[in-house]
Amino acid sequence: MGGDHGPQVTLPACRAFLDKHPQAELVIVGLADAVEPARAWSRTRVVTCSEVVTMDDGIEVALRRKKDSSMRVAIAQLKADVAAEPAHACVSAGNTGALMAVARYLLKTMDGIDRPAIATVLPNRRDGFTTVLDLGANVDCTPEHLLQFAVMGSALVAAVEGKEEPTVGLLNIGEEAIKGSETIKRAGELLREAAADGHIAFHGNVEGNDIFKGTTDIVVCDGFVGNVVLKASEGLAGMLTEFIKQEFTRNVFTKLAALVAMPVLKHFKHRVDHRRYNGAALLGLRGLVFKSHGSADAFAFEHALTRAYDAARNRLLDRVHDRIAETMRSLPAADPAATQAA
């Protein structure tokens, strides 16, 4: 029910996902009328609800007032005490703040984690991806939170990409250790200490362009900065694609040039299409929850479903939990007062 388009996007995406993944099963949650078409689908179970969390609803509304919302009911499907056959992952295109709050309330965080973080991949020029977190779940972060993000990001990349020692960069306004706010400088100290103890492979400070250079496998930042980076990268990719389209259709000469360059242009468009990277993991929870862009079309939402499906098949939750349990024992916890205030 969530996102800018709701069932007119999510249902076709679910249908396409099922067609491409014959071993997958879906639990579709929504208002009765909206999900009625899915009742006739195979490998699908429909669960109805009476409320929807809108994109404008505050966290208090989602948590306290709308207890039968599609978002809350969907997340609850991950719990064995709620569903006879618990789902392995949950995907939503709804209100990000509400999704994080409800997921954290229902599922709780893993031991050693104070706050969950949103992590996704962005393309880099090494023909690979850079994992970035946090992308909007936590606006105000302590140095300890950033350290925890680094450990969770390392666990994610190790589990999904098979890199046992992925490199970590701390997003800053310069590479020098003396630059940045007091929070960033202290986070750098903690990351260096963790690296010295063998918990992470800390590269050092990185700047925004290092994300797309592929300087490190992981880039850590607070949610405010991360969300700005994400939206700016999507906007830039769209602008470049539109610019190329306009420039190569101006006259007969540019059209001829476009024909020659078409393979390169198609590859570029494929690489920067943000819809292919849709589906951000909410790391640190005792359940797999993935956030789709609210503006996602059916193609993008299908990719979010696929990302969640792959994570479940590869036992991402167990592998991240094991990595965190191994590395978090000797790492400092966040200030309880700061965590409580969040």
CATH at residue 136: 3.40.718.10
Q: Which of 59, 86, 107 is the last residue of a domain?
A: 107
- Cα separations in angstroms, 298 against 7, 97, 314: 10, 22, 24
* DSSP helix/strand/coil, 135: coil
Distance CA 236, CA 272 (A): 9
Is 35 contained in some domain? yes
Q: How confident is the model at residue 75 (pLDDT cuts 50, 70, 90)?
A: very high
Mark whether 86 and 152 lie in a shared domain: no
196 and 95 within one domain:
no
Q: pLDDT per residue over 147-190, tens digit each?
A: 999 999 998 888 778 888 999 999 999 999 889 999 999 999 99
Q: How confident is the model at residue 108 (pLDDT cuts 50, 70, 90)?
A: very high
Domain for residue 34, yes or no?
yes
- In this structure, of 70-74, 108-112, 246-250, 276-280, the range with the lowest mean pLDDT score is 246-250
Residue 38 maps to a domain = yes
Residue 341: per-residue pLDDT: 46
Angle ∠(123,128,132) on CA atoms, nearest 5: 50
pLDDT tens, 287-318? 999 999 888 999 999 999 999 998 898 888 88
For the cut 80, the answer to whether the pLDDT of residue 329 exceeds it is: no
Q: Among 206-215, 247-256, 296-305, 316-325, which is the least confidently predicted range?
A: 247-256
pLDDT, averaged across the chain: 87
Q: Residue 42: inside a domain, yes or no?
A: yes
**Could you give the number of structural domains in the chain?**
2
Report whether 62 contacts 26 (CB < 8 A).
no
**What average pLDDT does range 98-118 have in this prediction?**
92
Mean pLDDT of 192-204: 92
| Domain co-membership, 272 together with 167 | yes
Lowest mean pLDDT of 29-43, 64-78, 94-108, 260-274, name the range: 260-274
Q: How far apart are CA 50 and CA 32, in angstroms?
A: 8
Per-range mean pLDDT, top range of 111-120, 148-157, 249-258, 297-306: 297-306
Pair (97, 171) in one structural domain: no
Q: Which positions ≥6 away from 160 have C-beta within 8 Å?
A: 310, 311, 314, 316
pLDDT at 118 over 80: yes
Q: Report pLDDT for 342.
A: 47
Pair 62, 160 in one domain: no
- pLDDT value of residue 76: 96
239 and 327 assigned to the same domain: yes
Task: Give the model's pLDDT for residue 114.
Answer: 86
CA neighbor of 203 nearest in space, from 243, 161, 150: 150
Q: Answer whether residue 28 shows pLDDT above 70.
A: yes
pLDDT for 266 equals: 62
pLDDT-derived band at 275 (thresholds 50, 70, 90) equals confident
Q: Which of 48-52, 240-244, 317-321 has the lowest mean pLDDT?
A: 240-244
Question: Does residue 146 register a pLDDT over 90?
Answer: yes
Q: State whether 88 and 124 are in the same domain.
A: no
Q: Which of 107, 133, 166 is the last residue of a domain?
A: 107
Tokens coding 161? 């990409």
Question: Which tops the pLDDT comparison, 160 or 246?
Answer: 160
Q: Please say which residue of 73, 107, 141 terminates a domain.
A: 107
Is the Cβ–Cβ distance between 139 and 224 less than 8 Å? yes
Global confidence as pTM? 0.84
For residue 302, tell me if it sits in a domain. Answer: no
Residues 166, 62 share a domain: no
Tell me: do 272 and 180 sit in the same domain: yes
Domain region containing 265: 117-277+319-341
pLDDT band at 213; cut points 50, 70, 90: very high
Q: Between 8 and 113, name the one with better pLDDT.
A: 8
Q: Please tell me whether residue 199 adopts helix, strand or coil conformation.
A: coil
Same domain for 47 and 149, yes or no, is no
Residue 154: inside a domain, yes or no?
Answer: yes
Q: Are residues 64 and 185 in the same domain?
A: no
Q: Residues 61, 161: one domain?
A: no
Q: What is the pLDDT of residue 339?
A: 47
Domain presence at residue 284: no
**What value does the mean pLDDT take over residues 131-146?**
91
The answer to whether residue 65 is domain-embedded is: yes
Per-residue pLDDT band for 127 (boundaries 50, 70, 90) equals confident
Structure tokens at 209: 């362009």
Q: How far is the C-alpha of 103 from the C-alpha of 80, rounded, in Å?
A: 15
